[in-house]
């Protein structure tokens, strides 16, 4: 078993300070490299990393393992070229020495970014991180700040709001006061955090893209969405008017219920219009209509009826609206007298109607979807049925409707019939077996007659 002890140097500090080209392979070569790096820069932590690599290799040798110690360096020009250089050197080492596993030795967070490159080429048994007198915490903090400042998206997300806050707060403090300025800035920061937390920018981008695609493709839903938006605004306006007519009503329950009672018909029509447009797009398209789009309009109507019924029940109980009066009606020989429905009766009527509408929608959706699937199966023809082991056509040229029962047991069955009708083949075998039994029985009786 061969183990590769590899010391990673992403920024090529060893090469720049000693003038040597990596990889540096072998115990003696790495040991000489320690002296060269130490003489070039005694304060460099890379010296300790090289010594740690030698120590790990020595410990593995003491355990009677075959060890190859090497130093792999990248490039200081760019991170991409550095990673590619490390990958090429690792490929050469693996091709020459064929290690079974590797032990990675690093001394910084930047060098640790090379570990996935090593793991993609050889199994990594251990990662040895060299810490020199707690300098790792300082270096890690510096490295994180450096990476943070190098990321353009993070700079725009964090530094720009902080800078604007520091600029705007003194102006607001002088104009409207420190407390009011702090409150205004806190509100803006909260809105910004919600904006980023809910990915509003991505939602707006996706909505803009979908709208553009819908306009270019000529979908009917574009018009229905605009109509639905108009109906929604009408519903909100009507609901607000209903709340304003209540006057000074204490609490928020009655105004909210009144708003729902007045606005829900318009909101339901808006949702119904939008769903109808989407259903038309599905019907015009080549793909079959999905069951969810067929059922959605009925669900919208059912939900609207339920909300309308419950809001009417609460408002009627509080005396805000009048009871529902059914006028007298005559239809031929049938006639009904005028009667008043109570709040509970009205609620029951709305709930039952909503349930019936939802059931009708589910039934229609399942029927349309089932007929579409049956049509697709019908277009498949006879070949899928034969592939599944079904019976072939009775008038086909290879179908034999007669089964001979007096054939000998060792007769040869028709291969075509056996391939397409396994049940007939089994039945033929049973018939042959019965025929054999009958033959044996008759033979036995003849033998008995011949015995004296």
Distances (CA, A) of 432 to 265, 408, 424: 76, 7, 12
Count of CA atoms in the C-beta half-sphere (13 A) of 134: 0
The pTM for the full model equals 0.43
Distances (CA, A) of 349 to 47, 248, 306, 323: 86, 32, 10, 14
DSSP 394: T
pLDDT of 436: 47
DSSP 60: H
**Average pLDDT estimate for 118-147:** 75
Instruction: Compute the distance between CA of residue 362 and CA of residue 352 in angstroms, rounded to an integer.
Output: 15
Higher pLDDT, 134 or 239: 239
Pairing of strands 101-106, 2-9: parallel
Can the peptide bond before residue 23 be classed as cis, meaning omega within 30 degrees of 0? Answer: yes
φ, ψ of residue 235 to 5 degrees: the values are -60, -45
- Token pair of 428, please? 């033929």
pLDDT over 70 (residue 452): no
Encode pLDDT of 28-55 as tens digits. 999 999 898 888 888 777 888 899 999 9
**Average pLDDT estimate for 81-85:** 87
Return the SS3 of 437.
helix
Encode pLDDT of 324-350 as tens digits. 887 877 777 787 777 788 888 889 999
Count of CA atoms in the C-beta half-sphere (13 A) of 44: 21
Q: Identify which of 143-157, 389-403, 437-451 has the greatest average pLDDT.
A: 143-157
Instruction: Compute the distance between CA of residue 231 and CA of residue 329 in angstroms, rounded to an integer.
Output: 33
């Amino acid at each position: 078993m061969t183990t590769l002890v590899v010391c990673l140097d992403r920024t090529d500090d060893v090469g720049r300070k000693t003038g040597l080209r990596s990889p540096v392979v072998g115990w003696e070569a790495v040991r000489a490299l320690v002296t060269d790096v130490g003489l070039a820069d005694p304060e460099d932590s890379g010296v300790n990393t090289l010594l740690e690599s030698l120590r790990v290799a020595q410990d593995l040798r003491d355990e009677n393992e075959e060890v190859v110690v090497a130093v792999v360096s990248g490039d200081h020009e760019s991170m991409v070229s550095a990673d590619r250089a490390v990958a090429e050197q690792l490929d050469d080492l693996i091709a020459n020495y064929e290690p079974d596993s590797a032990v990675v030795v690093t001394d910084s967070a930047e060098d640790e970014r090379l570990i996935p490159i090593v793991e993609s080429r050889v199994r990594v048994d251990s990662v040895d991180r060299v810490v020199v007198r707690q300098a790792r915490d300082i270096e890690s903090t510096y490295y994180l700040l450096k990476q943070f400042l190098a990321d353009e998206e993070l700079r725009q997300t964090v530094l720009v709001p902080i800078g604007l806050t520091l600029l705007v707060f003194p102006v607001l403090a002088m104009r409207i006061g420190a407390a009011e300025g702090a409150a205004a800035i806190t509100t803006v920061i909260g809105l910004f955090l919600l904006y980023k937390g809910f990915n509003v920018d991505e939602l707006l981008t996706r909505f803009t893209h979908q709208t553009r695609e819908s306009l270019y493709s000529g979908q009917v839903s574009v018009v229905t969405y605009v109509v639905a938006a108009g109906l929604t605004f009408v519903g909100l306006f009507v609901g607000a008017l209903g709340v304003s007519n209540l006057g000074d009503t204490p609490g928020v329950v009655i105004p909210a219920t009144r708003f729902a009672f007045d606005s829900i018909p318009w909101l339901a029509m808006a949702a119904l219009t939008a769903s109808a447009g989407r259903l038309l797009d599905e019907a015009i398209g080549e793909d079959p209509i999905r069951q969810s789009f067929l059922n959605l309009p009925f669900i919208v109507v059912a939900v609207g009826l339920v909300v309308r019924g419950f809001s009417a029940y609460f408002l009627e109980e509080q005396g805000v609206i009048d009871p529902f009066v059914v006028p007298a009606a005559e239809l031929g020989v049938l006639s009904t007298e005028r009667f008043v429905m109570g709040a509970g009766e009205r609620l029951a009527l709305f709930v039952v109607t909503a349930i019936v509408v939802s059931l009708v929608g589910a039934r229609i959706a399942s029927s349309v979807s089932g007929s579409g699937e049956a049509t697709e199966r019908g277009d498949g023809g006879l070949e899928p049925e034969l592939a599944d082991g079904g019976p072939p056509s009775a008038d086909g040229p290879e179908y034999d409707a007669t089964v001979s029962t007096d054939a000998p047991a060792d007769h040869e069955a028709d291969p075509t019939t056996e391939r397409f009708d396994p049940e007939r083949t089994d039945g033929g075998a049973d018939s042959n077996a019965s025929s054999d039994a009958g033959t044996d029985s008759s033979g036995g009786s003849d033998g008995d007659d011949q015995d004296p």
